[in-house]
Structure 1
């Protein structure tokens, strides 16, 4: 009896200590839990139980066309209105870049964004252009530009003479003007390249597996796909109210608990009819919200277009480096120094042979399970991609 009592007391003591430890952790992390878990619960409740169609949001953000023009009425500093003229274009691909990211643009031009390679090796016409704003002051110019005495805008003009692929307007190129850069892309397509069958927008640190993407879009084009918008989908995402975050959105800017569904801005594709609808939506919506992928979701929701998930479009992280991944890769995020090596490895003809046949498919399924289905692994492709 004495032994049993001691065991009971010891068990109760362990339970008490465990409870105290859990409560301590919860109290210490409560602010983070409140801003993350609680906000997501509220967001999903708002999305699925209250105003699933976000009709009130559409109405509240609608403004007169005269007011909306201030988000698109910018002068072109660099432009190529004849870039798409008299050509059958499968894809217009806009790369969002900053003026100083010269090396990133050159890396893209020599790898996945090389139009000559795409035409000769893949047999289609893809137009790759870079969307950027302006550097407003001398303080923002690169050090080498100040030392050489050559203005950075003059350098951009020189770069554009060499490559003819910069589309620049005179708004300040900054994080808080990303929505203006988004509007630039859809307005430029509407005015100069409306006959392209698809539009893609991507960051300048994204790797695009062009052979896989072209093959995929060609199949869709043959089927005459419409209302098409694909990428890594965020559903029921809440606005971030933490003022220390660069994604902070005030209640004055957006007062609701949830955003409409949208795709990660790192890279997504829309069909030409959707691009036209987004263009018209942008003519009457308040674009003060500076998170461009969310604004894309607002525009799409206003015209009744919903995003579709593609498991091989990356979100925020890099895809694992492996031939079984390259076989189905569409995009991968966060590539700068390694882009040339990745391009060489991912487009090697041996990749397709490696993953073909019953044994190759079985082997790659096992490899992808090991790479993508690890606990707490959310950076890139989801676990279900291993089974496709």
Structure 2
């Protein structure tokens, strides 16, 4: 029988090259997967088997004089009478950066419009934007024209017009987010201690204010305490990859798991929890620069645990559909579409089409299709379809 050895050798060569490429790809992917799997296994083992977060509390506890260095900043912009003489249901802090003027403008015109909330929903919600000072470090020379007095001057004019900026003189940057968190709870403790609830949110988040207000009114009537809701991260491991924005070196945090915390995109706490967090910041080391993790450390030190609310999103954007809007609380990642989303999400037609037996059955089917996807994560879980 005639055999074409040249063709056999060619096929073997192709197979060898293909095998090498596949193995190389698997090795690269496996290294990343292996790091993720190992870190999560270690994290869950620590959380459920060891669960000695008291070690973390002791490690982060420092003298009050030292802890004061994380809050001892001057106010460049402040409104000490913002809540004075008013029954405040919700004090809402929006974390923003000096240059995000258009985002603040959009929020004031939509879900953060205090006049709309008061006139339409019948409650007082105070919305303030918290920020640090514009960046002026030497390595940021390209920012200098706008980041120095020019941008600060714009902020002063913006605040004169709107009266809602709270600013301290630390540099506004990702690595100073924990300072911004501390500023919020200190300001609330001093300026608005009687607010029933405190919320912190990013400036690219959408808040369905009618839904949130009705929910918090119900919680207030029930007299809830130890109340902390949001998108909960449980047993999350520190990220040790230096390429990540959220990289935390071993020297900063040596344990395999963080205490449970809510995603910093948006969460709500009751007045008593806000006071406990304030007290924790007076004695804890705030050098860890991931603010939502530090919030978890503070809450753990005070014996407070977060509660999952399925309609608070994490880092993801909720699907666009009236059946989602019906129970939506927050959705993350909204900038250009915030005006449109506000219009459609609060339209009276939403409640009309989702009410009654037929509406509820229809929405259950829709949400099953939208939320119960294998690639769908960090917004609302599949179980939200049944609530």
Compute the TM-score of the two structures, normalised by the length of structure 2. 0.92
Query: How many matched pairs?
Result: 368
2: distance between equivalents of 1:213 and 1:331? 9
1: distance between equivalents of 2:375 and 2:320? 18
1: distance between equivalents of 2:373 and 2:22? 25
Contact (CA 8 Å) 2:135, 2:143: kept in 1 or not? Answer: no
2: distance between equivalents of 1:150 and 1:171? 15
1: distance between equivalents of 2:143 and 2:110? 25
Cα-to-partner distance string for 1:255-296 (whole Å, 9 max, x where unaligned): 000000000000000000000000000000000000000000
| Pairing 1:271-290 to 2, within 5 Å after superposition | 271-290=270-289
| Post-superposition offset of 1:151 | 1.4
Cα-to-partner distance string for 1:105-160 (whole Å, 9 max, x where unaligned): 000000000000000000000000000000142857868848xx971111101000
Q: Which residue of 2 aligns with 1:356?
A: 355
Q: Which residue of 2 aligns with 1:300?
A: 299
2: distance between equivalents of 1:268 and 1:69? 25
Q: Which residue of 2 aligns with 1:30?
A: 30
SS at match of 1:200: strand
Q: Which residue of 2 aligns with 1:196?
A: 195
2: distance between equivalents of 1:54 and 1:380? 28
| Pairing 1:336-375 to 2, within 5 Å after superposition | 336-375=335-374
Distance 1:359 1:78, change over 3 A: same
The answer as to 2:68 corresponding to 1:91 is no
1: distance between equivalents of 2:369 and 2:380? 12
User: Segments of 4+ in structure 1 off by > 2 A?
Assistant: 19-28, 138-146
Greater shift in the superposed pair: 324-333 or 31-40: 31-40
2: distance between equivalents of 1:240 and 1:98? 25
Compute the TM-score of the two structures, normalised by the length of structure 1. 0.92
Distance 1:169 1:150, change over 3 A: closer
2: distance between equivalents of 1:113 and 1:152? 23
SS at match of 1:151: helix
Q: Which residue of 2 aligns with 1:41?
A: 41
The answer as to 2:158 corresponding to 1:159 is yes
Cα-to-partner distance string for 1:167-194 (whole Å, 9 max, x where unaligned): 0000000000000000000000000000
1: distance between equivalents of 2:101 and 2:360? 40
Unpaired runs of 5+ residues, structure 1, are 1-18
Unpaired runs of 5+ residues, structure 2, are 1-18
Q: Which residue of 2 aligns with 1:13?
A: none
Contact (CA 8 Å) 1:209, 1:330: kept in 2 or not? Answer: yes
Contact (CA 8 Å) 2:136, 2:144: kept in 1 or not? Answer: no
SS at match of 1:29: helix
Q: Which residue of 2 aligns with 1:54?
A: 53
The answer as to 2:73 corresponding to 1:74 is yes
Distance 1:250 1:143, change over 3 A: closer
| Post-superposition offset of 1:34 | 2.4
Cα-to-partner distance string for 1:317-346 (whole Å, 9 max, x where unaligned): 110000000000000000000000000000
Q: Which residue of 1 aligns with 2:120?
A: 121
Q: Which residue of 2 aligns with 1:16?
A: none
| Post-superposition offset of 1:198 | 0.2
